[in-house]
């Protein structure tokens, strides 16, 4: 019997190893950018074609490589960072060039040009399938240029798993932002298909944050800085009013390496407790610096997940630093002891409190309630103090002329399609109380409207287009590069749903039309909120792109809790709800209404 165990050829072994490092074009972008940073570059340029599938090129003006180093960097386990096993635990740089390039060369066609300042000529090397095809001297500027072409050309099964260009490009932008955010003193550019996406000049951390996340954060950030013997923390956090429904604008860096940490994120959320809604997320860009021996960066292939020697200390420091910054910059709620000028001018403040006034005030029941025993629950037997009828709490406010208050009797299309002539009234401008023969329905108006809109939009996605109302004055909209990529990906589906949006230069779009049934509003702001909602669904639910978009549009366009409805609007809402495909549930599964029977009510009161 022949032996069964064989050593794999180097090229196959490299491809297997590459699978851990290079999962998609963005993985290669991350490795190449980090290598350029480690080379001491002050300018780094990323050039991409077809979302990295055709070309990923990184050009830097760093230290460059000698002829020998340029050849050695493609070998497995070749590195300039580690000479002993102890060095593994003291690495402060980003990555080591050899490991990344060996993996990239196994799954792409690579061209390298590199030159040191002290050398007269540089080195040019072509590598394909882990084999060097050509090596020769070349005239080139100081620094290094690495171009990888046709990613996964020799692993077609892996190439088939790549997503659309728009989706892969968003991943590339994410990786680019993470490296660029960590090194604001370096100039970064990103060009895709000959169009410049980012041009980030070297500057301060605050300038870099505004370059990437947008100028709206300019006056809405608070600096964080806390140095101790164990660790240092610095960066910026957003004021509570900037909190969003998605986690997009959250960046943690440990020793300048981007990390994902649910544990540290929990520390940040605790610091904001009771300052932002429970389902909102604050913006933060925070850098933690500590001894590398206190951190294990090798618990994940991409090094985005790390392990701390003492997590509890890190947690406490992060939470305390953020609380201190919020308090220091008067962001936390405080008591204002300064009287308003209009209050100080009131006669009750300015006039002297005479003895006659003191006797008059001390005789009131209000004064007795605070000064005498057993008076706290005393109610004067006076007609003026009598309690109003309980129904007064639900009386509708005065409505504009020509509109019917929601509390007036209206016809209702019930669950069985029958009309009942009973009172329907709006409670707390959020719920509809709908009487039934055996009790009543309590309908949540926003969730009900989401169900109605979802059905309409789902029908549009299946070939029944939504009518578009052309804008008399088209609005120009500006977005961050990341949101620009997302919007470009969604444009075809948005057009089917009644939004007519056209690209208009770099990071700009023109809103030419909106769904015909859309109420007048700030459409530019509405598109911003729509993208936020889409990103929320994108991170929380494993749904198709179109399904996520339909849910996002339905949630964005639905009438919100707290909106006053006329009787006509209430009637139409209920008719549309019970004519929908699933009237008892919103698109996310939340109930649109609850049914309360008389028996249930009697039991609640012990009857």
- Give the pLDDT of residue 225: 93
Tokens linked to 3: 């032996």
Percent above pLDDT 90 for the chain: 30
DSSP letter for each residue of 268-294: HHHHTTTTS-TT-B--EEEEEEE-GGG
What architecture is the 396-607 domain classified under in CATH? 2-Layer Sandwich (3.30)
78 contacts: CB under 8 Å, gap ≥ 6: 72, 98, 99, 102
- More confident position, 377 or 397: 377
- More confident position, 337 or 82: 82
- Give the pLDDT of residue 268: 92
Tokens linked to 572: 């139409």
Q: Is the pLDDT of residue 222 over 60?
A: yes
- More confident position, 543 or 333: 543
Cα(124)–Cα(544) distance, integer angstroms: 44
What is the rounded average pLDDT of the residues 47-53?
A: 95
Q: Is the pLDDT of residue 207 over 90?
A: yes
pLDDT digits (tens, 9 = 90+) for 457-479: 888 777 666 777 787 778 888 88
- Give the pLDDT of residue 366: 55
Find, among 21, 7, 45, the residue nearest to 151 by Cα: 21
At 347, which helix (H) or strand (E)? helix 347-350
pLDDT digits (tens, 9 = 90+) for 507-533: 889 988 888 766 656 667 778 878 877
Cα(565)–Cα(415) distance, integer angstroms: 21
- Give the pLDDT of residue 33: 94
- Give the pLDDT of residue 298: 57
Domain ranges within the chain, ordered by starting residue: 10-200, 205-328, 396-607
Q: Is the pTM of this model over 0.85?
A: no
Helix (H, G, I), strand (E, B) or coil at 210: helix
- More confident position, 579 or 536: 579
- Give the pLDDT of residue 274: 82
pLDDT digits (tens, 9 = 90+) for 111-148: 999 999 999 999 999 999 888 899 999 999 999 999 99
What is the rounded average pLDDT of the residues 316-328?
A: 90
237 within 8 A of 332, measured Cβ to Cβ: no
330 contacts: CB under 8 Å, gap ≥ 6: none
Say which range, 5-14, 78-87, 403-412, 577-586, has the weakest mean pLDDT: 403-412
Q: Alpha helices of 423-501 — where are they, by DSSP H?
A: 445-461, 481-496
What is the rounded average pLDDT of the residues 481-501?
A: 84
Q: Is the pLDDT of residue 388 over 60?
A: no
The CATH number of domain 205-328 is 3.30.230.10: yes
Q: Is the pLDDT of residue 585 over 60?
A: yes
Task: Name the residue with tokens 């009510």.
Answer: 601
Q: Phi and psi dihedrals of 53, rounded to 5?
A: -70, -35
Say which range, 311-325, 381-395, 416-430, has the weakest mean pLDDT: 381-395
Cα(403)–Cα(585) distance, integer angstroms: 29
- Give the pLDDT of residue 99: 62
At 46, which helix (H) or strand (E)? strand 43-49
What is the rounded average pLDDT of the residues 196-212?
A: 93
Find, among 109, 110, 107, 130, the residue nearest to 35 by Cα: 110
Cα(107)–Cα(153) distance, integer angstroms: 7
Residue 338 confidence class, pLDDT cut points 50, 70, 90 = very low
Tokens linked to 380: 């004067």
Residue 552 confidence class, pLDDT cut points 50, 70, 90 = confident
What is the rounded average pLDDT of the residues 224-237?
A: 92
Cα(352)–Cα(361) distance, integer angstroms: 14
Computed over every residue of the chain, the mean pLDDT equals 79
Q: Phi and psi dihedrals of 408, rounded to 5?
A: -75, 155
Q: Is the pLDDT of residue 94 over 50?
A: yes
- Give the pLDDT of residue 181: 96
Residue 402 confidence class, pLDDT cut points 50, 70, 90 = very low
What architecture is the 10-200 domain classified under in CATH? 2-Layer Sandwich (3.30)
pLDDT digits (tens, 9 = 90+) for 426-460: 999 999 999 988 889 999 999 999 999 888 888 87
- Give the pLDDT of residue 84: 57
Q: Is the pLDDT of residue 407 over 70?
A: no
279 within 8 A of 245, measured Cβ to Cβ: yes
Find, among 459, 449, 458, 456, the residue nearest to 574 by Cα: 449
What is the rounded average pLDDT of the residues 549-569?
A: 86
49 contacts: CB under 8 Å, gap ≥ 6: 55, 192, 193
Say which range, 226-235, 260-269, 395-404, 595-604, has the weakest mean pLDDT: 395-404
Q: Is the pLDDT of residue 582 over 80?
A: yes
Percent above pLDDT 70 for the chain: 74
What is the rounded average pLDDT of the residues 38-67?
A: 94
10 Å Cβ neighbour count for 60?
27
Q: DSSP letter at 531?
A: H
Helix axes 165-182, 25-38, angle to 10 degrees: 20
- Give the pLDDT of residue 343: 47
* Distance between start and end Cα atoms, the chain: 86
Q: Is the pLDDT of residue 55 over 60?
A: yes
- Give the pLDDT of residue 519: 61
């Amino acid at each position: 019997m022949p032996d069964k165990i064989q050593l794999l050829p180097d090229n196959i072994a490299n491809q297997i190893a590459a699978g851990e490092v290079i999962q998609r074009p963005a993985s290669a972008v991350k490795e190449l950018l980090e290598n350029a940073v480690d080379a001491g570059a002050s300018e780094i340029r990323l050039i991409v074609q077809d979302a990295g599938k055709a070309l990923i090129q990184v050009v830097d003006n760093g230290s460059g490589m000698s002829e020998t180093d340029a050849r050695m960097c493609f070998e497995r386990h070749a590195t300039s960072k580690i000479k002993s096993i102890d060095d593994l635990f003291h690495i402060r740089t980003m990555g080591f060039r050899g490991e990344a390039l060996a993996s990239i060369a196994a799954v792409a066609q690579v061209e390298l040009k590199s030159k040191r300042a002290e050398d007269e000529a540089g080195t040019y090397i072509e590598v394909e399938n882990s084999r060097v095809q050509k090596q020769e001297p070349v005239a080139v500027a100081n620094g290094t240029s690495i171009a990888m072409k046709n990613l996964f050309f020799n692993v077609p099964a892996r190439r088939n798993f790549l997503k659309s260009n728009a989706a892969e490009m968003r991943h590339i932008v994410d990786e680019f932002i993470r490296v660029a955010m960590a090194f604001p003193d370096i100039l970064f550019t990103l060009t895709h298909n000959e169009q410049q996406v980012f041009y980030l000049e070297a500057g301060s951390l605050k300038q870099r944050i505004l370059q990437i996340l947008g100028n709206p954060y300019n006056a809405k950030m608070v600096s964080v800085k806390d140095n101790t013997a164990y660790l240092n923390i610095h960066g910026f956090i957003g004021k509570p009013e900037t909190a969003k429904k998605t986690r997009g604008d959250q960046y943690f860096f440990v020793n300048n390496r981007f990390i994902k940490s649910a544990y540290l994120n929990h520390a940040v959320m605790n610091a904001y407790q009771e300052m932002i809604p429970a389902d909102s997320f604050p913006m933060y860009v925070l850098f933690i610096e500590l001894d590398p021996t206190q951190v294990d960066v090798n618990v994940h292939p991409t090094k985005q997940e790390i392990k701390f020697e003492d997590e509890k200390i890190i947690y406490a420091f992060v939470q305390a630093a953020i609380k201190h910054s919020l308090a220091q910059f008067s962001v936390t709620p405080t008591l204002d002891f300064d009287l308003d000028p209009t209050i100080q001018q009131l006669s009750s403040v300015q006039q002297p409190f005479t003895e006659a006034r003191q006797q008059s005030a001390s005789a009131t029941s209000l004064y007795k309630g605070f000064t005498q025993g057993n008076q706290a629950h005393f109610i004067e037997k006076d007609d003026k103090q009598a309690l109003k009828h309980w129904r007064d709490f639900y009386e509708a406010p005065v409505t504009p002329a020509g509109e019917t208050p929601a509390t007036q009797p209206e016809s209702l299309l019930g669950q069985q399609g029958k009309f009942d002539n009973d009172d329907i009234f709006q409670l707390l401008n959020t719920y509809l109380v709908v009487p039934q023969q055996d009790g009543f329905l309590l309908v949540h108006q926003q969730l009900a409207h989401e169900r109605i809109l979802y059905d309409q939009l789902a029908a549009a996605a299946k070939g029944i287009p939504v009518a578009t109302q052309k804008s008399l004055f088209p609005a120009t909209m500006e977005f961050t590069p990341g949101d620009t990529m997302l919007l470009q990906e969604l444009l075809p589906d948005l057009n089917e749903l009644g939004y007519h949006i056209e690209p208009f230069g770099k990071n700009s779009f023109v809103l030419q039309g909106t769904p015909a049934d859309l109420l007048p509003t700030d459409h530019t702001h509405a598109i911003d909120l729509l993208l936020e909602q889409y990103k929320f669904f994108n991170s929380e639910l494993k749904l198709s792109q179109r399904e996520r978009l339909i849910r996002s549009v339905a949630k964005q366009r639905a009438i919100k809790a707290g909106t006053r409805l006329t009787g006509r609007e209430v009637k139409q809402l209920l008719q549309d709800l019970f004519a929908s495909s699933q009237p008892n549930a919103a698109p996310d599964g939340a109930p649109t209404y609850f049914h309360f029977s008389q028996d249930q009510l009697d039991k609640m009161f012990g009857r």
